[in-house]
Amino acid sequence: MNLFFDHSINKNTKTVNFSFEESKHIKSFRMKSKELVTVTNGKGLEWIGELETINKNNPIANKISSKVHNDMISKIEIAIAPTKKIDRIEWFLEKSTEIGIKKIHFIQTKNSIRKKINKERLEKIIISSMKQSKQFHKPIIYDIISFNDFIILNNNTQKFIAHCQNTHKTDLAKNLINNNPCTIMIGPEGDFTRKEVDFATLNGFNPVGLGKNRLRTETAALVAIQTVHTLLTI
C-alpha cells in the first residue's frame, strides 16, 4: 500500500480532499477510481478510503474504515546542532524518521556555525520519509533553541550529552535503562565546549561516547538512535 498524508483529518473524517502535493503522488502512482487509499495524519491514524472518479487536479477519497494506532514505539529525543551544510541534517531527518524517532530539537551551541533552519522544508522531508517507511506517527521537530534553555527545559527520564572530549564518560550503550524515554544531545562540527558539557552534567545530563571513531554530527546522531533501538530489541 502507498501511504498519503493529511494533517487535518481524524478518525471521523468522511472525505479526504488531497492536497496539491499528494495529488501529484496519486497521479504518479497511476491510481484509478475505486482503488483503496491509506491516509494518515501523522498522529497514529490509519484512514482507509476509496478513490472517487479521479478528477486529475483534485482527487477525493471516501472513508471505508479508520483505526488509531497507539503511541509510537520510539521514545527517543535527539537534540542536535544544525550542521554547516544543511543537506547533512536533511539526510539525518530522513534516516532517523525511517529508523524511528519521537522528537528532534535543534540547538544553538557555542561552536554552531548555522543559526537558522527552514522548518517547513525539514517538515516535508520528515513527512516523505514517514510515508515511505509506512509509519503512522510523524516525528516532531522544534525551532532552534539556545543550548542553555534546552538543558533547563528538557525533563526526560534519561538524559545524555555525547561529546568527543577527553573527560570522564562511558559508552551510551552501557548507560541505557530499559525502554524509558531518553534525550541525547549531539554537538556541532566543533563539538560542545568543555563549559557546555559541564553545564549539562550539572543539570542531570550523563556524558557519553559513541565508540572509538570520530563521527560527523549527523552520523553520531544516527548511531545514537540505532544504539537505543538495538538495546530495546535484545
Please tell me what DSSP assigns to residue 28.
H
7, 34, 85, 134: residue in contact with a second copy (rule CB under 8 A): 134
DSSP 163-214: --SSSS-EEGGGT--TT--EEEEE--TT---HHHHHHHHHTTPEEEE--SS-
Spatial separation of the C-alpha atoms in residues 192 and 198, rounded to whole Å:
10
- Residue 229 touching a second copy (CB under 8 A): yes
Residue 21 near a second copy by CB under 8 A: no
Is the CB of 151 or the CB of 186 nearer to a second copy?
A: 186
Q: Cα angle vertex 70, ends 69, 74, to 5°? A: 115
Tell me which of 99, 140, 144, 145 binds a second copy, using CB under 8 A.
Answer: 99
Measured CA to CA, the distance from residue 191 to residue 81 in angstroms comes to 9
127 binds a second copy (CB under 8 A): no
Angstrom distance (rounded) from CA 46 to CA 136: 7
Residue selected from 166, 174, 178, 202 as contacting a second copy according to rule CB under 8 A? 174
**Which of 16-24, 33-41, 56-64, 208-216 is the region at the interface with a second copy (rule: CB under 8 A)?**
208-216
Least Cβ distance, residue 52 to a second copy (angstroms)? 28
Report the residue number, 202 or 234, with the smaller CB distance to a second copy: 234
Of the candidates 229, 228, 190, 230, the one whose C-alpha atom is nearest the C-alpha of residue 208 is: 228
Q: Does 230 bind a second copy (CB under 8 A)?
A: yes
Cβ 77 vs Cβ 184: under 8 Å: yes
Nearest CB to a second copy, comparing residues 13 and 165: 165
Q: Which stretch binds a second copy (CB under 8 A): 4-12, 95-103, 120-128, 151-159?
A: 95-103
Q: How far is the CB of 97 from a second copy (least distance, A)?
A: 9
